[in-house]
Structure 1
Amino acid sequence: MPSLSHSLTRRQLISAATLSALGGAALAQSPATWPTRAVKFIVPFPPGGPVDTTARIATQKLGEIWGQPVVIDNRAGAGGVVGASAAAKEAADGYNFFVGSIHHSVNPWLMGKLPYDIEKDFVPVSFGAMFPIFLVAHPSVPANNVQELITLSKKGTVLSYGSSGNGGGTHLAGELFNMEAGTQLQHIPYKGSAPAMTDLLGGQIQLMFADAPSALQHIKSGRVKVLGVASKKRSSMLPNVPTIAESGGLTNYEAYSWAALFAPAKTPENVLKKLNVDFNTALSDPAVKQRLIDAGAEGDAGSSEDMRKRLQGELQKWKKVIETAGIKAG
């Protein structure tokens, strides 16, 4: 039978080890030392796309700031639902995050019941980047600005526009345009931006609401005409191109694709605050800004409250568009 002094020593050692473990966990979550190991970011799209590329650029800088590895976990499928569902189930321990996109504000209305709740299962950390959408036309279209296009459409000219897919950001940009301008542009969905752009270049369709990565090279080469950018402000990528709002007199028109950072609900608040600060630092780095622009994105972080309000606005806007246009998941 062990001696009393030996038993006390063992209890003391166990107690000390327990306190040490707890202290280590607390330390790992403290703003001063977090993170102490690899951090994972779930991206709900395949490698190589705009959201994935943006996430890799930003998180690479975060890894440099932290001195810790970052892992991009691509969980593609069902228009972002597979990745979001996986992210919602991850441990809220400060080492799992989610890179959401415009689909995060569209899927509740497009797909009905989801295996997660956007507002209950996620907390916004920060906006990340905007992908400008440009309204471009085949050179044969007899319109050189948005107002001329609206007039042409209202005179009865049948005009079709391509998009990257049914219910995607470029499709919704076109339907919002129809609502605001009173036009009846006909939507032609494609399986991605590349085949849509191919048909636009070939004259099979007349128009396209195209994201920057798809459109810029063809705008600069003159193979397509650019009529306007769909965001509220002019794009730094093409500052001489007017917005659709100013060129067409559509004061309420605004559309863009985006990427933003979310965390599983109940992630420690101090971790969220530090991540927001570090993420803003990463996106303000000149080299990161340029890499994002080269990838067709404009970095734009901000506070978690800004992102919460932005998400609410996106949810309300696209709910109206989807219901008015009768859009169903493709």
Structure 2
Amino acid sequence: MKSISNPARVPLGLLMLAVSAVAASPAPAQPYPSRPIRLIVAFAPGGSVDLVSRLVAQKAGEALGQQIVIDNRPGAGGRLSAEIAARATPDGYTLHITSASLVVNAAIYRDLPYHPVKDFTPVTLLASTQNALAATLALPVTSVPDLIALAKKQPGKINYGSTGVGTSGHLTMEMFRSKAGIELVHVPYKAIGQTYTDLFSGRVSLFFPTLPGALPHFRLGKMRLLAVSGAKRSPALPDVPTVAEAALPGFEASTWYPILAPAGAPKAVVNALNRSFVAALNAPEIRKRLDEMGVEPVGSTPAQLAAHIKAELPKWAEVVRISGVRAD
């Protein structure tokens, strides 16, 4: 019987080449994110940055379909965490949340191991808040004019605590001291908890914490709030005046919470992260909680955050120059 040839038969050499080509093809990229994301927090648990981070990260993780794990790396006024984040792999699995200390440190320290613009990719300006001028109950003042008058009668006798050189509480108090024309003694602490403990006991007389950290203690009657630092009163403290209206016209200071990725993070990844954090901020329960904490949600685009950082650099450099703050 005459055999019938198979027209579909492929020569063995060509078949082996085809198999080799398939084996050499790159595997399809995994959809982002495929594993938990680390969010490096610049300050210790219990501070305003930490409180806001934990609140928003959980909701943003739900939007992404992956957990966002909080990794507190306090120390050196935010410089330690920034260095760790700047050196991380720019794959979207390591993020950094800090405060205005990102630009303040650039004005104070000349030998930073990172650059606040060149070494980070902006994701979103998450939120902003004011500082509150807190006084120990042992200090015989009930208003900003009272405080200024007492400080002028006792130059260099009243001290204030902060969580370190370059933090918002430090710089805001230095702005206040300079504009009021008074002498105050700075007592820097390594942790916010000890700062509050010494304020309550009277070991330090003043503190300029952010509202999220200050409000719970104020509501328990542990300290007195004389004023807030912003341009307008906080909805969380409608009866507490601004420093500007109380005594020092033009005084205004606020802190803000940027979320950053290491420089070189893929644009698609950054956009996905931005959408998740903005979605979290738009959730009614998150907005309600932020309002109660005295925090204003922002949720900027990456480009808006980049512009904000560049604008804040010269502003805080001038504040540092005028206040005379120097690295310890």
Aligned to 1:11: 17
Q: Is the 8 A contact 1:237 1:293 kept in 2?
A: yes
- Please give the per-residue CA displacement for 1:85-112, whole angstroms capped at 9, x wherever unaligned: 2222222233332223232122223332
Question: Can you give the 5+ residue segments of structure 2 that lack an aligned partner in the other structure?
Answer: 1-8
Return closer, same or farther for 1:148/1:35 CA change in 2, 3 Å cut-off. same
The offset of 1:316, in angstroms, is 2.2
Query: Which letter does structure 1 place at the counterpart of 2:106?
Result: P
**Partner in structure 2 of residue 249 of structure 1:** 248
* Greater helix proportion: 1
> Residue 329 of structure 1 aligns to a residue in which SS?
coil
Partner of 1:58, secondary structure, is helix
Q: CA deviation at 1:208?
A: 2.0
Q: Give the aligned residue type for 1:9.
A: L
Tell me the residue number matched to 2:269.
271
User: Which residue does 1:180 correspond to in 2?
Assistant: 179
Matched ranges for 1:208-227 at <5 A: 208-227=207-226
Return the letter of the residue paired with 1:78: A
Inter-CA distance 270–327: structure 2 relative to 1 (3 Å threshold): same
- In our comparison, the structure showing a higher alpha carbon Rg is 2
Distance in 2 separating the partners of 1:291 and 1:143: 31
CA contact (8 A) 2:42 2:73 kept: yes
**TM-score w.r.t. length of structure 1:** 0.82
CA–CA separation in structure 1 for the residues paired with 2:217 and 2:63: 36
Which consecutive unaligned segments of at least 5 residues does structure 1 have? 29-33
Is the partner of 2:187 in helix, strand or coil? Answer: strand
Q: Structure 1 175/69 Cα, relative in aligned 2: closer, same or farther at 3 Å?
A: same
The root-mean-square deviation of aligned C-alpha atoms, in Å, is 2.9
User: CA contact under 8 A between 2:47 and 2:212: conserved in structure 1?
Assistant: no
SS at match of 2:134: strand
Bigger shift: residues 161-170 or 36-45: 36-45
Q: How far is 1:172 from its partner?
A: 1.0
SS in 2 for 1:126: strand
1:149 alignment partner AA: L
Are the counterparts in 2 of residues 128 and 301 from structure 1 also a CA contact under 8 Å?
yes
**Structure 1 224/124 Cα, relative in aligned 2: closer, same or farther at 3 Å?**
same
Please state whether the residue corresponding to 1:71 is helix, strand or coil.
strand
SS in 2 for 1:120: coil
Shift of 1:118: 1.6
> 1:118 is paired with a residue of what secondary structure?
coil
State the identity as a percent.
Answer: 38
TM-superposed CA distance for 1:115, in Å, is: 1.7
- Asked if the contact 1:193–1:214 (Cα under 8 Å) also holds between the matched residues in 2, the reply is no
Shift of 1:294: 5.9
